[in-house]
Amino acid sequence: MVTKSDNKLPSAQVDDSKRRSGPEKDSLELSAKAQALLASIEESARPKELAAAFPRIVDRMASLWKTPPQMNRYFEQLLTDSRGVVRKGFSLGILMELTTLKDYYQTKFPTQHNVWDSAEDAEGHKF
């Protein structure tokens, strides 16, 4: 009786932590631009826990703050799990800070709609 041998080598387990580079210094400290942004936000909406735990997120916000479409998109990315993988997620405190900050942001930079946002056809369907 002839048996077919499997010539596959056993798969080696790979430690993904060795593939990742360590956090960069810039991602561990708030930039001057991020510090200025935090100072400009009203105390009640200032994300202190977020800034302490995730300075890179506040740095990114500082670069997007004056471009509402991009900033709103970033808020959605932070507040919505769209990766399709199980993630730890933010603590409740940080989640609440993000939600408060998003509400604050939208009062400072209201979303501007264009003419097509409210357009409907004759049957009431939105375009």
**DSSP, residue by residue, 40-51:** HS-GGG--HHHH
- Say what the pLDDT of residue 17 is: 44
- List the beta bridge partners of residue 120: 126
99, 100, 96: which is closest to 45 by C-alpha?
100
59, 120, 91: which is closest to 99 by C-alpha?
91
Residues 68/96, Cβ–Cβ less than 8 Å: no
**pTM of the predicted model, to two decimals?**
0.66
- Say what the pLDDT of residue 110 is: 87
* Statement: residue 52 has pLDDT above 80: yes
Q: For 66-108, write each residue's pLDDT tens digit.
A: 999 999 999 999 998 776 666 678 999 999 999 999 999 999 9
Q: Give the amino acid at 38.
A: L
